[in-house]
Amino acid sequence: MAGAPRFVKVAAPADLPPRAARAVRVGDRFVALFNVDGAVHATDNVCPHAGGPLARGRRGGPCGEIVACPWHGWRFNVRTGESPDLPGERVCTFPVRVADGCIQVAVENP
Ligand code: FES
């Protein structure tokens, strides 16, 4: 049975200014953090197509909520993980919070 998510400190808010993105490691996972309109969102950093690093992708959308994979251009909404172009394709998203002065992310089995 799943318990409450376990949040792990990954960055300081100052490390992720508006529209910025960065990759962090949480256990065995590589997670991409995105600042969208002042809110931090987290997705898997590994593109589901062929493993491209999503945190390095070009941002688009009105608030920067769309990231295009730098390898072949697949796009994902970092808020939902869903592809706006390819129905059914998505990247994993993770809960994020800012607490104790840190950005914290919860992933399974960190
Ligand atoms: S690896 Fe991301 S689009 Fe191909």
- The whole-angstrom distance between residue 66's C-alpha and the CA centroid of its chain comes to 11
The response to whether residue 76 sits with its C-beta less than 6 Å from ligand 1 reads no
CATH code for the domain defined by 7-106: 2.102.10.10
Tell how strand 7-11 and strand 102-106 pair up: antiparallel
Tell how strand 75-77 and strand 93-94 pair up: unpaired
Measure 12 CA to ligand 1 centroid, in angstroms: 28
The response to whether residue 58 sits with its C-beta less than 6 Å from ligand 1 reads no
**For residue range 16-66, what is the model confidence (pLDDT) as tens digits?**
999 999 999 998 999 999 999 999 999 999 999 999 999 999 999 999 999
Report pLDDT for 2. Answer: 61
The response to whether residue 71 sits with its C-beta less than 6 Å from ligand 1 reads yes
Pick from 30, 47, 75 the residue to mutate for probing ligand 1's pocket: most ligand atoms within 8 Å of its CB: 47
The domain spans of the chain are: 7-106
**For residue range 69-81, what is the model confidence (pLDDT) as tens digits?**
999 999 999 999 9
